[in-house]
Amino acid sequence: MRLLASLLAATLLCVGPALAGQKGLVEPSLHVAPGGTAGPRVALTFDACMGRTDMRILSALIDNKVPATVFVTSRWLRHNAPALAMLQAHPDLFEIENHGAMHVPAVDHPATIYGIAAAGSPAAVDAEVEGGAAAIRAAGAADPHWFRGSTALYSPSAIEQIRKLGFRIAGYSVNGDGGSLLGAGMAQKRIASARDGDVVISHINQPTHSAGEGVVKGILALKAKGFAFVRLSDVEVDGSDGTTATLSAVN
């Protein structure tokens, strides 16, 4: 039981559903412009929180020429040079965006989310966001323009702070792998059921989890149904910032 609890806490660092029970925090949602009569499309986004790389997913994206937006932390970059080189070798497929320096929730007051201490102050939020961006630039990648924080939960004031730093907040509309904790079948079902304009979040840093197999199968199922795949920078989005922002309160 202790092992299971530890695994759950560690994995949920990567994404937090609205049942987190954190009063006053918000969970932004995000959609891309639908393809409409041109055919349905979705944006695939992957978090690389820490640890290693799920080559099942990365290889499938490259082999099938499926573009995606990959959110990386400084911690992941330090240990995944070969995977980073693969991403950079395919600029037509991948854009590299900011998942933070130390992978702590972007909440600017003391709080604990899934047993994890949040950044805790505006200065610490700055350090998380700017540190992640600096690591991406140091790795030779293009300047990031999107930020997705650990657990995907934010204090409203931190959201405004992040925007003032020049970043758009990357929410999502489909949780593809439940923080990589889902079984292969459920992950496949969730992703395969995506609709035109959805933004899917999954994880590319858990090669030993069965969810990765389902992520690949779900993506291939969408492709077989005629879906196109876009990166966040490729199309207009709805929900990231400005008057169209959709923020789900977490009470």
pLDDT tens-place string over residues 150-206: 999 999 999 999 999 999 999 999 999 999 999 999 999 999 999 999 999 999 999
The pLDDT-based confidence of 237 (bands split at 50, 70, 90) is confident
For residues 243 and 175, give the distance between their C-alpha atoms in angstroms, rounded to a whole number.
24
Q: Please indicate, yes or no, if residue 36 is contained in any of the structural domains.
A: yes
Contact residues for 39 (Cβ-Cβ < 8 A; gap 6+)? 226, 227, 228
How confident is the model at residue 6, as a pLDDT?
A: 38
Q: Please indicate, yes or no, if residue 87 is contained in any of the structural domains.
A: yes
* Number of domains the chain contains: 1
The percent of residues in the chain predicted with pLDDT above 90, rounded, is: 82
* Nearest partner of 97 among 133, 55, 43, judged by Cα: 133
Q: Please indicate, yes or no, if residue 8 is contained in any of the structural domains.
A: no
Q: Please indicate, yes or no, if residue 10 is contained in any of the structural domains.
A: no
How confident is the model at residue 116, as a pLDDT?
A: 83
User: Domain containing 28: what range?
Assistant: 23-250
* Nearest partner of 174 among 29, 27, 18, judged by Cα: 29
Tell me what the mean pLDDT of segment 116-125 comes to. 95
How confident is the model at residue 238, as a pLDDT?
A: 78
Q: Please indicate, yes or no, if residue 1 is contained in any of the structural domains.
A: no
CATH of the domain at 82: 3.20.20.370
pLDDT single digits (tens) 46-90: 999 999 999 999 999 999 999 999 999 999 999 999 999 999 999
Return mean pLDDT, the chain: 89
Lowest mean pLDDT across 2-6, 100-104, 149-153: 2-6
Q: Please indicate, yes or no, if residue 4 is contained in any of the structural domains.
A: no
How confident is the model at residue 239, as a pLDDT?
A: 66
